[in-house]
Amino acid sequence: MVDIVLVSHSLKLVEGLKELVAEMASDVNIYAVGGTKEGEIGTDYDQILATFENVGEDGAIVLFDLGSSYMASQMALEALPESVQNKIAIVDAPLVECSIEAAVLAGVGNTIAEIVNHLAKYKLGKIPN
């Protein structure tokens, strides 16, 4: 089953979102990565990389809040072997609504490609072309 990774500048934000998403898709692995090592607002490349290294064999969908969360996620993804990179998709979509949709879709057996395709209609333009 595809995992869901939630990346934010705020650990409180993604922990709360993880709780909400788990109510809708309790069988899906959901990872919340937010804040700095010191517990402050920000993003932490090392935490994101460690999370990416632990996703399941079916891979993961990554949703993020702001631009630097995307940049840190992209850098972490690029640090992984290509075989792992191919199993992780960072998606340009609203964090809250699409986290729930992605988890529900993962829970009923959709692949990463199917989930990415479904979420494409919500594109916000947060990822530079």
pLDDT at 6: 98
> Considering only CA atoms, which of 104, 8, 87, 91 is closest in space to residue 47?
8
Please indicate, yes or no, if residue 39 is contained in any of the structural domains.
yes
Q: Does 118 qualify as catalytic in the annotation?
A: no
Please indicate, yes or no, if residue 127 is contained in any of the structural domains.
no
Domain hosting residue 80, numbered range: 3-122
Please indicate, yes or no, if residue 40 is contained in any of the structural domains.
yes
Please indicate, yes or no, if residue 129 is contained in any of the structural domains.
no
Q: What is the CATH number of the domain that holds 111?
A: 3.40.50.510
Helices (H), 1-129: 11-24, 45-53, 67-78, 82-85, 95-107, 112-119
Query: Is the pLDDT at 129 greater than 80, yes or no?
Result: no
Segment 103-128 mean pLDDT? 95
Record the pTM.
Answer: 0.95
Please indicate, yes or no, if residue 128 is contained in any of the structural domains.
no
Please indicate, yes or no, if residue 48 is contained in any of the structural domains.
yes
Segment 19-32 mean pLDDT? 96
Check if the beta carbon of residue 52 is closer than 8 Å to that of residue 61.
no
Please indicate, yes or no, if residue 29 is contained in any of the structural domains.
yes
Angle CA 76–13–59, to nearest 5 = 40
Query: Is the pLDDT at 102 greater than 90, yes or no?
Result: yes
Q: Is the Cα dihedral 67, 21, 34, 72 positive or negative?
A: negative
pLDDT at 112: 97
Rounded to whole angstroms, how far apart are CA atoms 126 and 91?
9
Tell me which of 6, 9, 60, 63 is the catalytic residue. 9
Query: Is the pLDDT at 11 greater than 80, yes or no?
Result: yes
Taking only the tens place, the pLDDT of each residue in 26-51 is: 999 999 999 999 989 999 999 999 99
pLDDT at 126: 86
Task: Count the domains in the chain.
Answer: 1
| 3-state class (DSSP) for residue 124 | coil
Please indicate, yes or no, if residue 106 is contained in any of the structural domains.
yes
